Amino acid sequence: MNKVIGLIVALGLIAGIASAQVVMSKAADKSVAMRVKNDSTATLSITIATGGASAANEVVINSNTNTIDGSGSIDTIVEFAAAIAACTNAAGSKPLTVDSACALAADSTDGELLDGTYTAAAGKWLELLWDTSASLSYDLYLPGGQYGSGSYKISKITGCPVGTGDVTLGIYQGGTLIAQQIYTSPIWKYSDATMTNGAADDVVNIDWAIDMRNLGGEAVIVRAARATTATTGIISAVIE
């Protein structure tokens, strides 16, 4: 029996256990855009407004309020992450660690983040999430390097990313696309043999058996992106 080195736990991290398989899943509005560790001595609070495309995004550290203006040049993951990492407490220290490998560096934050106030106690992580209806994708994140440990493989990707338009299913390692499948949508279904009474069907069911080994050194993202709309759905991966 294969030994699984990584199990995805509540924070999406990989912890070493022995098991045959682990299934990791993310539903709509649950995909992680970035993670922030609070190394301050009090609760951290991050407020996202207008999907990140606002001058009113706030990061509060030990009662010191930092404002991130996402209405201008701060409009990608790499820029937003840098702005959060630069936030300070009242003493001028920068006690936050940002893991932005959950997404691609050029991913837009100009309206695609999920609005809300996210909190983390001292020493804990919080996760900022994607608004699926705006980002149009369902993502799985498997940390690498300093955030993960050991080697693992992905043996299958399944799911039903509900929405409209073609589905592009990609696997990224260290931000680079290493595997891809495209599912054409809609397909036409006909009610009779003459094929004259057809209806468009936007449902895409993913069932991709793969054998992608020796992962774990770099962060991996599995992303199912719809071309036009994304609503309520799910993406899953079998990890060994």
Chain mean pLDDT for the chain:
90
Q: Minimal CA–CA distance to 128: which of 57, 32, 12, 29?
A: 32
**Tokens 């719809």, residue located:** 226
Once rounded to an integer, what is the mean pLDDT over residues 152-168? 97
Q: Each residue of 62-74: pLDDT tens digit? A: 999 999 999 999 9
Looking at the structure of the chain, the number of domains it has is: 2
Q: Do residue 157 and residue 117 come from a single domain?
A: no
Q: Is residue 99 part of a domain?
A: yes
Q: Do residue 21 and residue 68 come from a single domain?
A: no
Confidence at residue 20, expressed as pLDDT on a 0 to 100 scale: 66
pTM of whole model > 0.85? yes
* Alpha-carbon span 109 to 28, nearest angstrom: 17
Q: Do residue 229 and residue 196 come from a single domain?
A: yes
Q: Do residue 107 and residue 48 come from a single domain?
A: yes
Q: Do residue 78 and residue 92 come from a single domain?
A: yes
* Alpha-carbon span 167 to 137, nearest angstrom: 9
Residues in the chain: 240
Q: Each residue of 9-29: pLDDT tens digit? A: 333 444 443 356 899 999 999
Domain boundary among the residues 129, 156, 178 is at 129
Q: Each residue of 189-225: pLDDT tens digit? A: 877 666 666 788 999 999 999 998 888 889 999 999 9
Q: Minimal CA–CA distance to 133: which of 50, 53, 223, 231?
A: 231
* Alpha-carbon span 150 to 136, nearest angstrom: 31
Once rounded to an integer, what is the mean pLDDT over residues 47-69? 97
Question: In this predicted structure, which of 95-99, 103-107, 200-204 has the lowest mean pLDDT?
Answer: 200-204
Question: What is the 3 state secondary structure string of 105-121?
Answer: CCCECCCCECCEEEEEC
Contact status, residue 197 vs residue 137, Cβ threshold 8 Å: no
Percent helix, strand, coil in the chain (nearest 5)? 10, 50, 45
Confidence at residue 190, expressed as pLDDT on a 0 to 100 scale: 73
Domain residue limits at 40? 32-129
Domain boundary among the residues 113, 129, 145 is at 129
